[in-house]
Every structure is written in C-alpha cells, then in structure tokens.
A and B are shown apart, each in its own frame.
Chain A
Amino acid sequence: MSPFDHPNPTDEALMLAYQAGDVQAFDALYERHKNKLFGFLMRGLGRRAQAEDCFQEVWRRMIQSRARYQPQAKFSTWLYQIANNLLTDQYRRHAPEQAAMQQMANEPKPENRMSSDPLDGVSDFERRRRVQLAMEQLPDEQRVALQLRLEHEYSLEQIAEITGASRETVKSRLRYAQAKLIEELGS
C-alpha cells in the first residue's frame, strides 16, 4: 500500500515507504523538511557555506541509516537529532572562533544602540536585529533549545530527545535563553 493513497500522509508513513524502497516518498519528505532544516542550520552556524555542507551531511546520514528508523519515533525528531549532532560537532571544531565572537559581543555597545526607552522610535527591523544578535550570542545549548522551541514549536520532551539532555535541563536552558533575549531587547 502506497502512502500516497492517503491525501496527506504522515512523515512516518513516508519514511516507512522509503525504507521499503519508495524513492518518491523520500522526495516528499525532503520537500517537507528542507527549508526548516536549512534554516535551523543557518541559524546555528551563521554561514551559508557551512550550513549547506551540514545540510547535505544530515540527509546523507539519514539515507544511510534509514534501515534503523522505527515508526515509534517521530520522523522530524529523528531528523533533527542527526542535525543537532552535526551542529555539536561543528561547535566543538570551531570553539576558539566562537569564543572570540563571544568576547566581541560582550564589549560595551554604543549608546545609540542601547536605548532603554521604548518610545525612542525603535523600529521592528531594529528589534528583530537585536533579537537575532542576542540569539547568536547565546551559548550553543541554549540557542539550539530556544530555536527548536520557537521556530519548530517542539515540546520539552522532544527537545530533550533531540539534544540528548533531560527535560529539566531543557526547561532551564529555555528559561535562561528567553531571559537573555528579553534583557537584550530592554523590555
């Protein structure tokens, strides 16, 4: 029975079909998840070239290990687990570079960029830019957890499974990350 008999097959049905040799099911899965996954990697790595390399590697690993997939697992959770493992490897590889960027980010900012007055006419564009900058300055674990929560709306349990941390750890990381962003926004 083909998953395409159903008008809107689930990711898991498509993955099982691909596991059984249906290449069209892979194409459908890829089209569903490619943009979100690429955005996740872009946000995490900050450079397009690195993100493209990592994106390709995520799908390669997924294809290679498709035989191990079991339908009890949510496909997106499994896919982002692979992506998070690759991101972690990248962070470890570029740890000195990250530290230097962190130091630059901690330097005092110009006065005109840090206005605490909400009525000084800060535009939406400026607000978004500040959130993104604050996001980049977060520790890797906090940034990944917050990203998975805000952009993908994953539950604490799913984030815990993807990152390999406990639910309470994830909850704590999210709390710290949100506090930091709100602080940066000066709200």
Chain B
Amino acid sequence: MTTHQHNPQPLSDEEQALAKLLGSPAAAPPKALDASIKQYARLQEGMTPTKRRRQPWLWGISSTLAACLVLMIALPSVRLTSEDLRPAQGIIDALSGKQEASEQARQVPLIPQPEDAPIAQAPSSRDGFREVDIIPQPPVVASAPESGVMEESIELEAPVMADIASKKATSDALQIEEAAAKPEPSEKTIRPAEPWLKDIQTLAQSKEPALRQRAKEQLEAFQAAYPDHPVPKSLLKKLNLLPKKQQSL
C-alpha cells in the first residue's frame, strides 16, 4: 500500500453541472450477494491470517522453542561414529576406483550379521528348559606325540629323571595294591589265565612278605584252576618255589 490520504478537492461549477446531469446509478447489489459476501468474510475470519499479527513476539518465541526441541531430539540420533561411516567411506572409495577401499567395504557388512544381533536370554530350568536336551560335545583332545620321537629328541636332566623314577615306584606300588585287592576266583567265576598270572607276577615282585605269601597262594589257586597252563620259571624263582638246585641257578 502506497496510497496516502489527501485533502478533498471540491468540484468546480462545470463539474457539478455534469455530475448533476450524470446522476448516480441507482443500482444496488442484490440482497443474496450481500449475504454471500458477509458470510465469506465471517468464514475467512475463522481461519484468519491476521491473528499472528497481534502478538508476533509470541509467535517468534514459540517457533524458536519448537525448533530447539526438534534439534535436541534429532541431534543425538544422527551422531555418527567412525564405525558408522566405514561402509559409506568404503563404497565411496570403491566408486572412485580404489581397490583396497573396495576390499574394506566388502569386509564390513552393511546388513547386520547374526552375531551382531542381540542374544536372547537362555531360559532357565525353571522355565522348562530340560538339562537332558543339552548334548555334550566331546572335548578336543590334542594328539600326543609319538613316544619314539620323545625318547630321541628330549634329553631329560637328573632331577627330572629322579622324579620320574619315584613316580614309577609309586605306580608299581599302586599296581600291586590293585592286584592284592582283586578277589580270589571262585569256582563259579574263574578269571582268565593270562591276566591272573600277570597279577601274580606283580605280587611276586613285592618285597613285603605278606604280599609274596599272597602271590604264592594265588599261584597255587591258579595251578589248581589251570593245571595244564605253564607257569613262568621266573615267577617260580621269585617266589622260591623251584627246586633248590634250579633255584640256585
């Protein structure tokens, strides 16, 4: 709007005469048009754009607050880390022709992998999880090296050797105890000949008289059970069961 109010200029005599002849058009808009225009004005006032003009400062403050709120909500969610940017950077480098970058882009999965997915909490036994459902996997056993290789390649020192000797003596004693603990064969359950004889030999190696006596008894029982089975002369010799002449030999 650039119009300004001006002082009225009265009509001259000539103008007044012409105006009188011309008259004013005795025309009025129809009543329906009046009602229509007034109704339109009311409707437009309902969606008035002028209300903002009343308190522009209030509109400005509320707009600023709304913008700040949106920024506060949006900014933390759009913060990107270098990890987030790696795939995109790889793709950009690949498009620009860098071979290494494309390799990197291929390695970094764009789609989340199963291991990246959150792990569901396993149900407890109270939740109906049955322990029998768990199939135990066999433990991984490392293959032992061949004994020959060990003997050739490893030279053991004296303290180690002494330790091994003591362990071997302990092992022998254990074997003797196991052999002594084994029950004597009954008529119904006769032990196999070879393992039985081996146990007797183990007992015979002992220096304790009780065990050696036990070995003699076992040997008698063995000979009773297997009269035709040969008995090693060494065993008889250890138990002093050979004739005196042969025993001395």
Q: Which residue of B lies closest to A124 (CB)?
A: B21
A18: B residues at CB distance < 8 A: 41
Complexed CA–CA distance, A21 and B53 (Å) = 11
Nearest-CB distance from B100 to chain A (Å)? 62
A52: B residues at CB distance < 8 A: 29-30, 33
B74 lies within 8 A of chain A by Cβ: no
Assess whether B29 is in contact with A34, with CB atoms less than 8 Å apart: yes
Q: Which residue of A lies closest to B3 (CB)?
A: A73
Assess whether B1 is in contact with A70, with CB atoms less than 8 Å apart: yes
Q: Which of B15, B37, B48 contacts A178 (CB 8 A)?
A: B15
A32 lies within 8 A of chain B by Cβ: no
Assess whether A77 is in contact with B48, with CB atoms less than 8 Å apart: no
Assess whether A56 is in contact with B41, with CB atoms less than 8 Å apart: no
B22: A residues at CB distance < 8 A: 128, 131-132, 135, 150-151
B27 lies within 8 A of chain A by Cβ: yes
A48: B residues at CB distance < 8 A: 27
Q: Which of B3, B27, B53 contacts A161 (CB 8 A)?
A: B3
A156: B residues at CB distance < 8 A: 9
Assess whether A42 is in contact with B27, with CB atoms less than 8 Å apart: yes
Interface size class of A (residues with CB under 8 A): 35 or more
A26: B residues at CB distance < 8 A: 38, 41, 45
- Binary A-proximity of B9-36 (CB < 8 A = 1, otherwise 0): 1110011001101111111111001101
B49 lies within 8 A of chain A by Cβ: yes
Q: Which residue of B lies closest to A12 (CB)?
A: B5
Given known A-B contacts A52-B33, A150-B11, A23 and B18 have beta carbons under 8 A apart: no
- Binary A-proximity of B40-71 (CB < 8 A = 1, otherwise 0): 11101100111101100000000000000000
B230 lies within 8 A of chain A by Cβ: no
**Residues A125-162 near B (CB distance < 8 A):** 127-128, 131-132, 135, 149-151, 153, 155-158, 161
Q: Which residue of A lies closest to B43 (CB)?
A: A63
Q: Which of B21, B29, B40 contacts A60 (CB 8 A)?
A: B40
Assess whether A43 is in contact with B25, with CB atoms less than 8 Å apart: yes
Complexed CA–CA distance, A36 and B54 (Å) = 32
A157: B residues at CB distance < 8 A: 6
B7 lies within 8 A of chain A by Cβ: yes
**Residues A16-36 near B (CB distance < 8 A):** 18-21, 23, 26-27, 30, 34-36
Nearest-CB distance from A169 to chain B (Å)? 16
Given known A-B contacts A30-B38, A34-B34, A149-B15, A128 and B21 have beta carbons under 8 A apart: yes
Binding site for B on A (CB under 8 A): 18-21, 23, 26-27, 30, 34-36, 38-39, 42-43, 48, 51-52, 55-56, 59-60, 63-64, 66-70, 72-74, 77-78, 81, 127-128, 131-132, 135, 149-151, 153, 155-158, 161, 178, 181-182, 185
Binding site for A on B (CB under 8 A): 1-11, 14-15, 18-19, 21-30, 33-34, 36-38, 40-42, 44-45, 48-51, 53-54
Listed from nearest, the 4 A-B pairs whose CB atoms lie closest are A39-B25, A73-B3, A150-B19, A155-B9
